[in-house]
Structure 1
Amino acid sequence: MQETGRYAFEILARAAARGGGIPCGSNLPTANVLNNASSNWWSNWGEGIQGYEGNDNTFPKPFGTDSTDRVSGTDAVIVWSGTGDSGVTIVDHKPNAAQFKVNTSAHGLEDGDIVMACDYRQAAIFQVTNANASNVTIVHNTGSSVSPGNCSKGLGYPTVCTNLMAILTLHFCRGGTITKLTAHAWYVGCNDRGSCNTPAGRSLYRLRLGNQKGSNLAAAEEIVDGVWDLQLQYLTRDASGALDTQYRDATAGF
């Protein structure tokens, strides 16, 4: 039980610490050219962390009693980050051609990957439409067969999904970074080894963004069993940047 608790805390803490992370610096303006970005939880980049109270059924996994369903009354959280475990350096960017050159052919990127590019000025989220391990070219075009696809070749901020932005767009600087976007949705769910009304029947689960050539999401992953409940509170800042005086539930606006 102690090992389960320690592991659950550790893996959640690591995820939360990356929330909203951008490899090139914090609080950079971030364009998002994914089609219908706000309609999918994994692409709806915001403040980096979104909390859900135990009575909020708008989380990506609904309440239920079947295997992998979310347990009613338990909190949940989504964490987005551009600071994954891998990244490549931008060598050149041709916005009109929707094409990056990176520093290695061993970039690990595939058609359909959702990624973040950044330099010292801004960041941008887009989908890779063509990548090949035999060369250093990464393409972010529109009108491809991958889903959801990009609404524009232009990666400038603010996002404007028009052809004009393909010309009047930001040119990312040499030395910037491209990394895979991570999106993890954490919750307590029912497993298939007992009643969901008992600790043995519950586990900590994770939904995560996968490669978009297949489905939008990897199947719910059981991270650690025996996790009965999850209750979270958040310490936020006001408009001036000052920290709140206490931790609050997600219903307070986090």
Structure 2
Amino acid sequence: MKDDGTWMSEAARDALLLRKSSEEFKKILAQCSANRTKHKKNGKVLGTHNMGRRSAIEQAAEMAKNAGGKMPTAFELFKRAHTPKRKEMVESGMPMSVMESFTNEIAKLDEQGISYKKYEVYYKSAGGRKKGQVFGVGNAQSLFFGSSVSSTAAAAQSYTPGVLTQLQTHHEQLIKEAVDKVNQENEERLQKMNQENEERLRQMQSQIELEMMHKFEERFVQLALLLKMTLLLAEETLMKMALTLRLHFSH
């Protein structure tokens, strides 16, 4: 059913009709129409925005709810907003350009072993701030990116973290500190255990050496006594032999 505007006042309706008949409005209308139909596949127009009437902040809240309270990153929100239900990114235009730039940059940084923040990579991939807006995140941009106080080109390309980014960065830092503390405590505990084991091993070796020395001394004494008895026995035998010989030659 076509809206004839009868629900408006006559003055408001006349102002609207005058606005719609202006060349400026027709130019904007034509540009919007071209933007909506420039992405096609097999002759079918592909939408570049797939959240319906839901705002970016509402979409981010829903994604967080489905993820157990974990807020999405700027790229995750962008991808959700520009991915149709058939799970394919648009094949041309700004969304695909941002997608390729982001994934390529992440792959390059990972390959080079360089640490990075996904928010900063996305900000750069989206072309920074244009006319005060960061592409792909709608009214949720303040969650990820801080507001720019300057309108210069340099300021538009300069990344400043938003409220959510700062909170997540702080949360990540707390987790890192907790993990580092646990790792340090485990390392200290392991080092202490190694020292205690080494001390026990030294004590065991000393005890074994002492016991072996005692046994060696006992065995040495036994051998010495046996040798002494053997020598005495030999001496006695020789004396008997000498006495026997003496008696034999005396006759």
The structure with higher relative contact order (CA 8 Å, sep 6+) is 1
TM-score category, normalised to shorter length = under 0.3
After TM superposition, the score normalised by the length of structure 2 is 0.22
Q: Higher strand share goes to which structure? A: 1
Q: Higher helix share goes to which structure? A: 2
Structure exhibiting the larger radius of gyration computed from Cα positions? 2
After TM superposition, the score normalised by the length of structure 1 is 0.22
